[in-house]
Amino acid sequence: MKYPILLPNIFNYPFTYESSINLRVGDYVIVPFGKSQITGIVWDEFEKSNSKKFKIKSVLKKLNVTPLKKNTINFLNWFAEYNIIPKGMALKLMLLSSKAVEDKDKKFYKTFESEIKKTSIKLSSDQNKSLEKMNASNKRFRVHVLQGITGSGKTLVYFEALKPIIKQGFQGLILLPEIGLTGQFEQKFFEYFKFKPAIWHSGISKKKKELIWSGVSKGDIKVIIGARSSLFLPFKKLGMIVVDEEHDQSFKQDEGVIYNARDMAISRASFENIPINLITAVPSIETFENIKKGKYGVSILTQRYKNSALPNYEIINLNNTKLEKQSWLSSKIIEKANFHLEKNDQVLFFLNRRGFSPNVLCNKCFTSFSCPNCSINLVYHKKKNNLLCHYCGYKTNLKRNCSKKGECDLIFSGPGVERISEEVKKKFPNKKIQIFSSDTMNKKDSINKLNKIINNETQILVGTQLISKGFHFPSLNCIIVVDIDLSSQGHDLRGAEKNLQLYHQLSGRAGRAGKPATVYFQTYNSNTKMISDITNKNPDIFLEKELEIRRKNKLPPFQRFISIILTGSNESKLEKEAFYFKNFIENKIEGKVLGPVNAPIFRLKKKYRVRLLVRGPKSMKVQHSIAKIIPKYKFSSGIKLSVDVDPINFN
């Protein structure tokens, strides 16, 4: 009998094989492909008929794996269509290194046994009201947004909503935006449920991943806490999805297969016909618009847990205070930090820049050190004593021969967290200080570092935006934003929205244990309206204004944007190709084609980049027309195309 088998590769259709074994849709099989053997899945439709006659090969083996559900196959088909990628690449996201893991005995999953024990945690009346709204239609697909000020106990509410789902034998998926959050979150989960969830992200060992993959497929592992890739696990009986910090930009996968995990999670919940909960302090503009339209349900927590007060805000005008040479901290800010330290408060100096300095140049030959592979500056990391590209990972030594004479006389322009940390050490020599960034907190000893911060053994933190992502530091009552002017610059479509979310999240780290807390903003800008806007207790006011601007200018979420990026190693050839390609597609797709223009980061990983932007109605017609036309265009050798549906950044 003939069967359509989808393979995890670049093809958008299944291949036809024959087998004497009786197979069903969703069965995992091993088949010959070229000179190798490959894992595939019995798909729901045959490849389009081809006039050429091919010898049909036979399925070699049926694997002992719980079949993939029809709902999941439907989701993968839709996912490929929406994101304009081949179906085979969508399947690849579901498999482990293009392989499936055969079912194991129940004893292998003993670590993840999910017997819920009673907890003594009581919800407030505010939390209970939100829980009732959340549970109102838990038997079918619906999107519910739990919006609450930081520290209002949103996690406890969705833990309570998840409890009956697990008791009924269903599985739960909690998506988090950052790997760094999983350790502290796992601890919180265990304290509440008294059993271990399975953690899934790129840092998990291959052996552990195989165990989790098979346990999820078999239905023996009940709860997954994971980064965006956990959305593609082959759940047997998924009952609820939670997207924590739904507004976070980290849910967007920008390399390889490009997709937004939050949006795809909503879609997967729809195909599974199960509830999904989006959790946030400040919703993304898309979520806010869907709440306003009545498409998503919402419940709002207005009180912090145990009625802790929100932090106060204070602006330090740098025009009224002279900074010392090579200093970024005013005497006024040092005074404020000392005041808090004397009260045994923890202090955070916030600057959203990794490393020591973002610009290094020579005082003699005026050379600015940029990446040889990308059109951006190299960042100096003092701790590692190297210059590093944050895009391609290129590293180089700091020592340079000068074109004038001898070695370069280096000037470090601007600060990163390492430089601020050095200044803080000079000002507070007797305090324990910790840099909190992806360079320091994704290491093996990060749990130990976190515990020291939680116990107030580390008195001063110097951190990037990673610190705003949901960590709970009970003694943190003073946050100093070193340079608010830095994050308010730029021409990002989502700049205002990102700042609103960042500073609400950031300020939410302070005053969580009930003590009075303050966030201080250093600024040269005499117009402080921007700061009062982004720190307003009611973020909806700001979002309403932002939505109106987007509506007037026909920007997302009112229109669909699709970025088409062409890359190549020959600059002039690429630019010509981009114009030819635009002329070819312009009148054949459902939407207006803007560009081509050089990407803001024109060269990345040794390749030049040119962008086109398609804007059109919010329907799948745009994707269908693009998917239809692209295969008809023959690109010159060395030119590659990638498509980003609903782009978040325009680098």
Query: If you write DSSP's letter for every residue of 373-398 in order, what string do you get?
Result: SSSSBPEEETTTTEEE-TTT--EEES
pLDDT band at 229 (very low <50, low <70, confident <90, very high): very high
pLDDT of 306 over the 70 cut: no
More confident residue, 179 or 215: 215
Average pLDDT, integer, range 408-433:
91
pLDDT of 592 over the 60 cut: yes
For residues 328 and 420, is the Cβ–Cβ distance under 8 A?
yes
Residue 489's pLDDT is 52
CA atoms in the 13 A half-sphere facing the CB of 95: 24
* 3 state SS for 318-344: HHHCCCCCCCCCCHHHHHHHHHHHHCC
Residue 442's pLDDT is 66
pLDDT band at 527 (very low <50, low <70, confident <90, very high): low
Distance separating alpha carbons of residues 317 and 335, to the nearest angstrom: 14
Single-letter residue type at 380: Y
pLDDT of 525 over the 80 cut: no
For residues 501 and 247, is the Cβ–Cβ distance under 8 A?
yes
Find where tokens 């840099």 sit: 435
More confident residue, 404 or 610: 610
Average pLDDT, integer, range 428-445:
82
pLDDT of 117 over the 80 cut: no
Q: Omega into 596 within 30° of 0, i.e. cis?
A: yes
Query: What torsion do the CA atoms of 369, 373, 377, 381 make, to the nearest 10 degrees?
Result: -80
* Weakest mean pLDDT among 374-388, 534-548, 599-613: 534-548
Tokens of 525: 């800008």
DSSP per-residue string spanning 2-31: EEEEE-SSS-SS-EEEE-SS---TT-EEEE
pLDDT band at 137 (very low <50, low <70, confident <90, very high): confident
Residue 466's pLDDT is 83
- Which residues lie across from 642 on neighbouring strands? 565
More confident residue, 115 or 352: 352
pLDDT of 456 over the 90 cut: no
Cα separations (Å) of 79 from 74, 236, 455? Answer: 9, 19, 44
* Weakest mean pLDDT among 7-11, 267-271, 460-464, 565-569: 460-464
Residue 142's pLDDT is 95
pLDDT of 88 over the 80 cut: yes
Tokens of 371: 């990446």
Average pLDDT score, the chain:
89
Distance separating alpha carbons of residues 154 and 163, to the nearest angstrom: 15
Q: Structure pTM?
A: 0.91
Architecture of the domain whose range is 2-94: 3-Layer(aba) Sandwich (3.40)
560-645: CATH topology is Alpha-Beta Plaits (3.30.70)
Distance separating alpha carbons of residues 149 and 13, to the nearest angstrom: 47
Strands 410-413 and 359-362, by their bridges, are: antiparallel
pLDDT of 433 over the 60 cut: yes
pLDDT of 576 over the 90 cut: yes
CATH of 106-115+122-306, one of 3.40.50.300, 3.40.50.720, 3.30.43.10, 3.40.50.150: 3.40.50.300
Residue 196's pLDDT is 87
Q: Omega into 429 within 30° of 0, i.e. cis?
A: no
pLDDT band at 407 (very low <50, low <70, confident <90, very high): confident
Distance separating alpha carbons of residues 15 and 4, to the nearest angstrom: 5
Look at residue 79 and give its three-state secondary structure.
helix
Find where tokens 């609400």 sit: 504
pLDDT in tens, 472-499: 788 888 999 988 766 555 556 777 788 8
Using alpha carbons only, give the angle 252, 258, 262 rounded to the nearest 5 degrees: 35
For residues 519 and 311, is the Cβ–Cβ distance under 8 A?
yes
**Cβ count within 10 A of residue 493:** 16
Distance separating alpha carbons of residues 245 and 251, to the nearest angstrom: 9
pLDDT of 584 over the 80 cut: yes
Closest to 204 (Cα-Cα) out of 217, 222, 186: 186
476 exposed, middle or buried (CB, 10 Å; 0-12, 13-18, 19+)?
buried
pLDDT in tens, 251-286: 999 889 999 999 999 999 999 999 999 999 899 999
334 exposed, middle or buried (CB, 10 Å; 0-12, 13-18, 19+)?
middle
**Cβ count within 10 A of residue 188:** 16
Average pLDDT, integer, range 335-341:
92
Distance separating alpha carbons of residues 231 and 225, to the nearest angstrom: 10
pLDDT of 140 over the 60 cut: yes
Tokens of 162: 């998840």
pLDDT of 54 over the 80 cut: no
Single-letter residue type at 349: F
Q: Does domain 308-356+415-546 have CATH number 3.40.1190.20?
A: no
pLDDT in tens, 515-524: 888 889 888 8
Residue 642's pLDDT is 94
Residue 61 main-chain phi, psi, to 5 deg: -165, 145
Cα separations (Å) of 341 from 45, 79, 347, 562? Answer: 66, 51, 7, 49
For residues 295 and 482, is the Cβ–Cβ distance under 8 A?
no
Using alpha carbons only, give the angle 355, 326, 349 rounded to the nearest 5 degrees: 50
Distance separating alpha carbons of residues 223 and 195, to the nearest angstrom: 10
Find where tokens 């008809």 sit: 632
- 2-94 shares its CATH topology with 560-645: no
Average pLDDT, integer, range 584-610:
93
Residue 2 main-chain phi, psi, to 5 deg: -90, 145
Tokens of 170: 């269903």
Say which DSSP state 445 is in.
T
pLDDT band at 52 (very low <50, low <70, confident <90, very high): low
Average pLDDT, integer, range 560-568:
95
Phi-psi bin for 580: left (phi > 0), alpha (psi -120 to 50), beta? alpha
pLDDT in tens, 151-196: 788 999 999 999 999 999 999 999 998 776 677 788 888 888 888 8
Closest to 608 (Cα-Cα) out of 643, 578, 645: 578
Query: What is the percent of the chain with per-residue pLDDT over 90, rounded to a whole number?
Result: 58
Say which DSSP state 263 is in.
H
Element (H, E) at 76: helix 70-82
Distance separating alpha carbons of residues 463 and 301, to the nearest angstrom: 27
- Which residues lie across from 145 on neighbouring strands? 278, 298
Distance separating alpha carbons of residues 248 and 179, to the nearest angstrom: 13
Distance separating alpha carbons of residues 330 and 487, to the nearest angstrom: 19
Q: Where in the chain are the domains?
A: 2-94, 106-115+122-306, 308-356+415-546, 560-645
For residues 228 and 200, is the Cβ–Cβ distance under 8 A?
no
Tokens of 546: 């932002």
Tokens of 8: 């995890």
pLDDT of 49 over the 70 cut: no
pLDDT of 512 over the 80 cut: no
Residue 608's pLDDT is 96
Q: Omega into 631 within 30° of 0, i.e. cis?
A: no
pLDDT in tens, 283-298: 999 999 999 999 999 9
- Which residues lie across from 377 on neighbouring strands? 370
For residues 242 and 217, is the Cβ–Cβ distance under 8 A?
no
